[in-house]
Chains A and B, each alone.
Chain A
Amino acid sequence: MSKKIFERPRYLKDAAFHYCPGCGHSIIHRLVAEVLDELGIGERTIGVPPAGCAVLAYNYLDVDMGEAPHGRGAAVATGIKRILPDRIVFTYQGDGDIAAIGTAETIHAANRGENITVIFVNNGVYGMTGGQMAPTTLLGQNSTTTPGGRNRRRDGAPLDLSQIIAVTGGSVYIERTAVHTPKHVRRTKKALTKAFKTQMNGLGFSLVEIISQCPTNWKMSPVDSCRWIEETMLSSYPLQVIKDEVGDL
């Protein structure tokens, strides 16, 4: 008799992802679903999707989901969590959503120490709107609004939001990971697990920044996108535990 060794996680709906080939969102969605299942919290979890490519996360994640206006995920999650402190509340946000239009909401939610988990997917570009410059876009990187490459004097330098969040008093666990190799996918799952455990233990604001590939807007093949992350993007966004005040959980 054959043995089932791989299956769709319980909290992932039976739906085909709309994401582009090679996009990191599908991997990250699956990781979130696996972690919710393994921690046994899926039935008391409420997710807050962003405006952006992942706005349709509720088509895939089989938990209660409440859509936030662009950038306001941390504020909406704050409202939910304060009313239902025994539930698990997470936001899922892209770099444009969280590091540009939602900067204030994110920093202040972290500073208040809201006991929520933020999943911050950083692909260095506005994906859904067609590849404009994001606050995270690298210097010299082409985008539809930086045709000659991002120029420091004209466009500013890449913003490392996770480092900013780390200096707030209420953030307790921040880690940057990636999903361009199986090794990094496994590391990301560990970080997500720790972030949710941080919340389950009532310790405060947790954030996992996940460097993710966007082959379509980078105008690269999926394989080249993964290589570009390893060779180029990670030098601006080194993978590391940025803040850990929770220890082993």
Chain B
Amino acid sequence: MIGEAAVRAGCRFYAGYPITPQNELTEYMAGAMDRIDDGVFIQAESELAAINMVIGAAMAGARSMTSSSSPGISLKQEGISYLASQELPALIVNTMRGGPGLGNIAPSQGDYFQATRGGGHGDYRVIVLAPASGQELADLTRTAFDYADRYRTPVMILGDGMMGQMMEPVTFPEPLDPSALPPKPWKLDGAAGRPSRVIRSLLLDPSVEEELNWKLVRKYEAISRDIPAAETYLTEDALLVVIAYGTAARIAKGAIKGLRDKGLRVGLFRPVTLWPFPVHALRRLIPSVTDFLTFEMSTGQMVEDVRLALEGDGRVHFYGRPGGIVSTPDEIASVIEPLYVRQGLDRIPQGPPR
């Protein structure tokens, strides 16, 4: 899904290295790029080489991407830091698996911190998008390339092994013609009839490096203002809201449906952008929602952003299963229901809908 969406978004360069559970994407790109005259596919010798090839292709002006899974994404962090510093657009897809270390190949959300805090060295952020369905995978792939170009910054799609392996019907957008995309007046294509350009990362003068850092901050502020996105589900009259993204959100949705049938006023808040975190959308649920249960396939990472966003307005709870364990909706329901009762929410009379 991501592969076809990427090609239709005008992606013309893919470099990757085999790692489960995301080889389907690499294999798809091998065939897809082969069918396009100006498409380039390279099976790189390492994750490091792949991300650095993406740096080169991005310098040359192409919509470029790489993909991997958790251990491979750690290796790519060097290049992602350079992409941020050199203000180069690129898409990185992380299909998360159980970790730390080699871990396993089961679905996980253990890379949230790494993704949303920059990931590599230095003072930077990466736009992080978290699709929860096949259709959204396809849609957000195009969005990711658009954001990358617009803000000249690396963008990550953060999925997991479940999303990497699922099959769902998808409607793809019409293909874009890469030559019709906005020009990149910074790209390196030879200084014919213009002054030569340099895309550099070394800034030895601290005052120049500081200037770059503040420039990046201004960009990140604009991104934080412009693109935060979240889905809300049955939150209008909710007293307790589950906060989850990606596969975890789908599982939670199943649990919420069942609990609604039993009369519990529960809803779902699903961040679509993990960085920037949709702070304002979440805060709009205060004060009618008093309890926020963060559910993650990790030991608790996004829950820190939830606490930061709520700044003490509301009670924050957490439930997580790490290591590649995928909870069932029943399991989540069995966490929500006693919490709902323990907080006395079952004794709050039904008020008028907000």
Contact = CB atoms under 8 A, between A and B. Distances in A.
Interface residues of A, number: 36
B49 A72 contact: yes
A57 B201 CA distance: 13
Interface string A19-59: 00000000000000000000000111110100100011010
A119 interface: no
B56 A80 contact: yes
A48 B53 CA distance: 12
A78 B52 CA distance: 9
Interface string B37-77: 00010101110111011111111111010000000000000
Chain B interface helix/strand/loop/mixed? mixed
B193 A76 contact: no
A79 B197 contact: no
Interface stretch (B183-191, B236-244, B325-333): B183-191
A87 interface: yes
A69 interface: yes
Given A43-B192, A75-B44, A82-B40, A64 B197 contact: yes
A104 B44 CA distance: 10
Contacts of B86: 66-67
Nearest to B189: A84
Contact of A69 (B12, B59, B82, B188): B82
Contacts of B64: 79, 83
Nearest to A46: B188
A85 B134 CA distance: 35
Contacts of A83: 12-13, 40, 56-57, 60-62, 64
Contacts of A84: 60, 189-190
A184 interface: no
Contact of A82 (B46, B49, B52, B57): B57
A76 B55 contact: yes
Nearest to B204: A56
B202 interface: yes
Which of B44, B59, B62, B199 counts the most A-chain CB atoms under 10 A from its CB?
A: B59
Interface residues of B, number: 40
Contacts of B61: 83
B78 interface: yes
B267 to A, nearest CB: 45
Interface in A79-131: 79-84, 87-88, 104-105, 107-108, 112
B228 interface: no
A66 B59 contact: yes
Contacts of B192: 43-44
Contacts of B264: none
B190 A46 contact: yes
Contact of A67 (B48, B62, B199): B199
B246 interface: no
Nearest to B50: A75
A55 B56 contact: no
A105 B199 contact: no
A65 B198 contact: yes
B46 A79 contact: no
B49 A75 contact: yes
A75 B48 contact: yes
A77 B56 contact: yes
B45 A108 contact: yes
B54 A43 contact: no
Contacts of A82: 13, 40, 42, 53, 56-57
B196 A65 contact: yes
Given A46-B188, A55-B202, A67-B86, A62 B55 contact: no
A132 B138 CA distance: 50
Interface of A: 42-46, 48, 51, 55-56, 58, 62-69, 72, 75-84, 87-88, 104-105, 107-108, 112
26 contacts: A44-B190, A56-B202, A58-B200, A66-B188, A67-B199, A69-B55, A72-B48, A72-B49, A72-B79, A75-B48, A75-B52, A75-B55, A76-B59, A79-B59, A79-B64, A80-B59, A80-B60, A82-B53, A83-B13, A83-B57, A83-B64, A104-B49, A105-B48, A105-B52, A107-B45, A112-B42
